Amino acid sequence: MSTTLNITDFLAISPLLILLFGALILILLESFWVGASKKGGTTIAFITFLIALLAAAWAPASHSPLLTNWLQFDPLARFFALLFLAVGIGSVLLSEPFIERFNISCGEFLFLILSATAGLLLISSAADFLTLFIGFETLSIALYVLCGFIKRWLNTREASTKYFLLGALSSGFLLYGIALIYGAVGTTKFADLITGYHAIETASDKFLFLGGAAFVTMGLAFKAAIVPLHTWAPDVYDGSPTPVTAFMAVATKIGAFAAFIRVFMLALPQFSPIWNQSIAILVYPTLIYANFVAMRQIQLRRFFAYSGIAHAGFLLIPLAVGGNDALSALLFYLVIYALATLCCFAVMAFLDKRESGVFIHDLHGLYTRSPMLAIILSIALLTLAGIPPSIGFIAKFYVFKVAFQAGYYGLVIVGLLTTILSAYYYLRIVALMFAKAPSEEEKPIHSLPALSVATFCIAALLLLSIYPQPFLDLIGTVDKFKA
């Protein structure tokens, strides 16, 4: 067994290394040469992400046991790496107008975004509970700071404190769950979990394992903001700066579900019907509560918090179902959710002028002020609402199909009913944008980076609506690899 790493191994983890290197450069620049960081910070972060993206696309798989014990190099990891890096690029571009307007320290901000993304990469390629936990901590600690980044804003301080306290608690849950599982099967390696579980013969060990699984689930459910562990999400989303909210709404949510996939779909596929049943039970309150409360929101960041919770409920359905096709349905829905939400935040970046964020009534008559923004935002909202012919419909359809095949009729029914509710609140915004004359005659800010994000997302959504098959095939190859 070799103890040295050769060039292939370094190439395999190159996206992570590039990200960390870029982050290091940024923080050093910020410390010693503020002017340069202010001028070129965004460019450096953008280029770092771009190189990392290319590296992730071409990276070979490593076979060195020094790495494979901790990280996996399967198609799923590559898929998630590409997704996270793309979202990272989006966040950097979205934060550019924000940094400029509020004149905040660019290098530090982007350093934190880069390290949070590195944490996400660790999560999605984890082969061991410890890697997963380190990934989550890297992500969370960066996010605690990002939430309270603008120290003079009262709301962000509150959000940051809340997020830190509750986040620490959830990390505790996660770690405790890992410890219990270790106690039951004597390993933290994902590859050995299922054999370990089946080798359990005593009732007490089984109880220990299931308890650990429950704690891990709770920890992850907190990160994914699933009712009843969602309470942090509205306040934190509301209080954080808009680009940070965008990053949380998209990347953190995907990260939590990536962890769910790694642990409960790949390492422990269908290990116990009790787990699937309890996840199915979580779906009901998540969908119903979030959709009802979202109807009454007026602040857009808070609105997207509830919308995100509602979509987390949808994402739980394939997780609860497990089995054939569930991974494909989950990944497809995740990507559509990510594109549409990022697109909404890109439009918000144009309107975001105050500490308190964008309110729904700021969108009054947006169509007369800026037809393009209004059309982009409505397509994204229609996709989120799942109204055909948008691709959101196909995504929901796929989820329903998987649930129906497994006999979870209750989930399908509640999903359909809450879709009606969600159509109401998404379309209300769309109607508002087109309906009335503008309340105030102010032009939206002009920002090329944010526009490019919006254009990219919309182009992707439209292309997928017309011909989703190639993308479904791609996801199918990821799904097949699992088996």
The verdict on 33 binding other proteins (CB under 8 A) reads no
C-alpha span between 188 and 131 (Å, rounded)? 10
Only one of the segments 79-87, 116-124, 138-146, 398-406 lies at the binding site for other proteins (rule: CB under 8 A); that segment is: 398-406
Contact flag: residue 179 with other proteins (CB under 8 A): no
User: Using the rule CB under 8 A, is 371 a contact of other proteins?
Assistant: yes
Rounded distance, CA 90 to CA 412, Å?
Answer: 33
Minimum distance from residue 65 beta carbon to other proteins (Å): 8
Q: Which is nearer to other proteins, 306 or 408 (CB)?
A: 408
Q: Which residue number, 172 or 371, has a Cβ lying nearer to other proteins?
A: 371
Q: Counting contacts by CB under 8 A, is residue 413 touching other proteins? A: yes
- Name the residue nearer to other proteins (CB basis): 185 or 349: 185
Nearest approach, Cβ of residue 200 and other proteins (Å): 11
Q: Indicate which single residue of 314, 398, 425, 456 sits in contact with other proteins (rule: CB under 8 A).
A: 398
Number of residues lying near other proteins (CB under 8 A):
52
Q: How far is CA 230 from CA 254, 263, 310, 312, in A?
A: 15, 21, 11, 10
209 is a site residue for other proteins (CB under 8 A): no
**429 CB-near residues (< 8 Å, 6+ apart):** 360, 363, 377, 381
Is the CB of 7 or the CB of 203 nearer to other proteins? 203
Whichever of 266 and 331 has its CB closer to other proteins, that residue is: 331
Residues in 264-283 at the binding interface with other proteins, rule: CB under 8 A: 272-274, 277
Q: How far is the CB of 318 from other proteins (least distance, A)?
A: 14
Please give the Cα distance from 377 to 357 (Å, whole number): 17
Centre a 10 Å sphere on the Cβ of residue 375 and count the other Cβ atoms it contains.
16
SS3 label, residue 62: coil
By beta-carbon proximity to other proteins, the closer residue of 172 and 410 is 410
Q: Distances from the Cα of 176 to the Cαs of 36, 105, 189, in angstroms?
A: 44, 37, 16
Q: Measured from the CB of residue 339, what is the shortest distance to other proteins in angstroms?
A: 17
39: three-class secondary structure by DSSP: helix
Residue appearing with tokens 């975001």: 352
Told to check if 228 binds other proteins by CB under 8 A, we report no
Is 210 a binding residue for other proteins by CB under 8 A? The answer is: no
Cα separation of 356 and 286, whole Å? 27
Q: Is 198 exposed, middle or buried (0-12, 13-18, 19+ CB in 10 A)?
A: exposed
| Nearest approach, Cβ of residue 409 and other proteins (Å) | 6
* Contact call for residue 389 and other proteins (CB under 8 A): yes
Q: What angle do CA 19, 249, 94 make, to 5 degrees?
A: 60
C-alpha–C-alpha distance, residues 16 and 22, integer Å: 10
Cβ atoms < 10 Å from Cβ of 284: 17
CB of 243 to other proteins, least distance (A): 30
Sites of contact with other proteins (CB under 8 A) = 1, 3, 186, 199, 201-204, 206, 272-274, 277, 328, 367-368, 371, 382, 387-389, 393-394, 397-398, 400-401, 404-405, 407-410, 412-413, 416-417, 419-420, 423-424, 427-428, 431, 434-435, 467-469, 472-473, 476
